[in-house]
Amino acid sequence: MASDGTGVDPDGFYRPKSEADIVQLVKKAYAEGKQIRCRGSVHSVAHAIYTDPGPGEPNVPNKVSVQSPPEGPNLNLLLDDYAGLAWIDEARGVVEVDAGLHLGADPNAPDQNASLKDSLLYQAFEKGWTLRDLGGITHQTISGFIATGSSGGSLQYGIDKNIVAFRVIDGTGEVLWVDEETNADLFFALGTSMGLLGIISKVRLKLTPTFNVYGQEATTKTAVEECPVDLFNVGCDGKPNLRQFLETTPYARILWWPQQGAERAVFWQAVAGPPLDAFTPLPYIEWTGSPLENTVEQLAASIFYTLVGNLDDLKAVPGKLKDDFEVFDDAIALLLKQLGLGKLASEVLAKILTGALEGLTDAAILLLQDELRTILPKAFPKLIDLFQPLSGDKPKVFMDYAWRSLPMDNAVNDTLLNTEFTEIWIPLEYTERTMQLLASYFEEGGTQATGFFSTELYSAKESKFWLSPSFGGPVFRVDPFWFADNAGDPAAKGGFFDGFWRLLRDNDVPFRLHWGKFLPEYDFADWAAYLRSQYPRWDDFMTLRKQRDPKDIFLTDYWRRHLLGET
């Protein structure tokens, strides 16, 4: 590994240790005409993160959780060694954090300054502070979360108010503190900038006093007679429609299973409350069994989703499950160690048990291909009762510190349940229209339209950042989930996500897309023009981009296609 912070490591990453290192690397890219990009927690699609590959080199797959950059001379930075935190005014909650600091623990980088105790949220909590809202996970770096316009599920709260200033390095290596008072245009452009206006080195935050959340999660049928929310606004007295539910619930997220025979929704909702002197936390727990039970449950779900996502080529499934069985192997070895078996014996026995299970699974898949193609789609409504049973009169309740239970998906294993999605942000006033369109689309299209996964529904507060998908007004968000090991490209023309984009465009429902998730991978000029039409300050942003990056060292082919329509 390089020791000075400005050399490239064998894995292809530069690991700067200071702002001066980053400046030196930017100046190197500027002088040599190379691209430079920063990687966070790889929660975004790979092409949005990394530089282009070198001439003649293949690009990395455009998927989430791609850990390595493409081969070539361009500079890909990993900021795990630049993850400090400095209190500027502890009494007022003012803190400056380095760009590589993670919000919470990142399970994909446990030995690289990304443990829970290293994180922003944990360190802030120890001092009595937190952020006002959080997304479904907290693996991300602070800079990555902000730069892509990410948001939690609330119309009442957002982290924009926590952001005071950015320290940014432009495409020539110049460094500048930017805040709303001294340079409002650049501040609001930087807030959602995808790394295209420079490398954000530090973020100054005015934190929120720590608070608790009190909430519940319940799974119900979506039929209006059985659902607590009138999802499709068919007119049910005494029940809020979806927009009203989102407007009156401080924190909310819905997982909608629209498949015929499944027809259910998981309502996660919470309110904020003050910290209490005598408080026994009851955290939100997504997987309620032991660590091994949770792993087995997620492994079973992964096997099912990999099978139904590859029904036309079941021979490919065993290869796609290898990483999943490695996770199972680790869980078994850990359990055996906890039971008192030695390290070597635990690892050997775990590999034997895992190998046997993997071998039996692979053999069964290959032997029963015809039967699986017929049985699995028909069995889905029954299987969903196992994966996502109805709550009845026993909802899951929780009361906990906000920083720990607002991110409700932190317990999902990114390997076992590797989920990809396009995140569609729609003006809130189109909520009813969108839900009715989706209901008809799913009913008419069957599993080709619904897939076998859920669709996430939630909201976001208005943002002042120019390229935030909620710039100018509150939004309703629709996230169609796609299992990462499915066959095919969901963002291609005619792909799974394309059905949703086309449904809304064809019915004159305006929308924007999360910059770190899937964007349309076809008709680039048309889609770039459409996106431009949705953002009032688009041209102002592009003018600043060119001024701050005169040699286009931050601009990759991916961003040329999607923002400029160039192929």
* % of the chain exceeding 70 in pLDDT: 99
Residue 279 within any structural domain of the chain: no
Residue 116's nearest CA partner among 338, 208, 126 is 126
Q: Is the dihedral of CA 369, 375, 377, 382 positive or negative?
A: negative
Q: Do 205 and 219 belong together in one domain? A: no
Give residue 1's pLDDT band: very low, low, confident or very high (50, 70, 90).
very low
Residue 500 within any structural domain of the chain: yes
Residue 172 within any structural domain of the chain: yes
What is the average per-residue pLDDT within 146-151?
94
Q: Do 320 and 418 belong together in one domain? A: no
At residue 290, the pLDDT reads 85
Residue 101 within any structural domain of the chain: yes
Residue 169 within any structural domain of the chain: yes
Q: Do 262 and 401 belong together in one domain? A: yes
- Placement of tokens 């008809």 in the chain: 440
Query: What DSSP string describes 332-383?
Result: HHHHHHHTT--HHHHHHHHHHHHHHHHHHHHHHHHHTHHHHHHHHHHHHHHH
Q: Do 267 and 147 belong together in one domain? A: no
Q: Do 182 and 165 belong together in one domain? A: yes
Last residue of a domain, one of 185, 210, 235: 210
pLDDT tens-digit profile of 494-528? Answer: 999 999 999 999 999 999 999 999 999 999 999 99
What is the number of structural domains in the chain? 4
Tell whether the model's pLDDT for residue 114 goes beyond 80. Answer: no
Tell whether the model's pLDDT for residue 110 goes beyond 90. Answer: no
Say what the pTM is: 0.96
What is the average per-residue pLDDT within 420-430?
98
Give residue 112's pLDDT band: very low, low, confident or very high (50, 70, 90).
low
At residue 417, the pLDDT reads 93
Sequence-ordered list of residues with C-beta below 8 angstroms from that of 211, at least 6 positions apart, any chain = 130, 272, 273, 274, 275, 402
Residue 556 within any structural domain of the chain: no
The phi, psi pair for 37, rounded to 5°, reads -140, 155
Number of Cβ atoms within 10 Å of the Cβ of 527: 20
Residue 387 and residue 209 in contact, taking contact as beta carbons nearer than 8 Å: no
Residue 77's nearest CA partner among 122, 34, 31 is 34
Domain containing residue 123: 85-210
Tell me 470's DSSP state: T
Give residue 546's pLDDT band: very low, low, confident or very high (50, 70, 90).
very high
What is the average per-residue pLDDT within 283-290?
87
Residue 159 within any structural domain of the chain: yes
Q: Do 268 and 398 belong together in one domain? A: yes
CA-CA distance, 309 to 320, in Å (whole number)? 11
**Among 96-110, 244-258, 517-531, which is the least confidently predicted range?**
96-110
Tell whether the model's pLDDT for residue 333 goes beyond 50. Answer: yes
Query: What DSSP string describes 199-250?
Result: EEEEEEEEPEEP-EEEEEEEEEE-STTT-SSBTT----TT--BHHHHHHH-S
Residue 537 within any structural domain of the chain: no
pLDDT tens-digit profile of 190-239? Answer: 999 999 999 999 999 999 999 999 999 999 999 999 999 999 987 777 89
At residue 82, the pLDDT reads 96
CATH of the domain at 123: 3.30.465.10
**Among 104-108, 334-338, 460-464, which is the least confidently predicted range?**
104-108
Tell whether the model's pLDDT for residue 404 goes beyond 80. Answer: yes
Q: Do 115 and 243 belong together in one domain? A: no
Tell whether the model's pLDDT for residue 111 goes beyond 90. Answer: no
Tell whether the model's pLDDT for residue 453 goes beyond 80. Answer: yes
Give residue 5's pLDDT band: very low, low, confident or very high (50, 70, 90).
confident
What is the average per-residue pLDDT within 167-174?
98
Q: Do 309 and 331 belong together in one domain? A: yes
- Placement of tokens 């119309």 in the chain: 155
Tell me 102's DSSP state: B
CATH of the domain at 430: 3.30.70.2520
Q: Do 352 and 422 belong together in one domain? A: no
Q: Do 229 and 370 belong together in one domain? A: no
Last residue of a domain, one of 483, 504, 522: 522
Q: Do 264 and 402 belong together in one domain? A: yes
Last residue of a domain, one of 32, 56, 78: 78
At residue 3, the pLDDT reads 52
Q: Do 365 and 415 belong together in one domain? A: no
Residue 267 and residue 218 in contact, taking contact as beta carbons nearer than 8 Å: yes
Burial class (CB in 10 A: 0-12, 13-18, 19+), 96: middle
**Among 78-82, 234-238, 381-385, 425-429, which is the least confidently predicted range?**
234-238
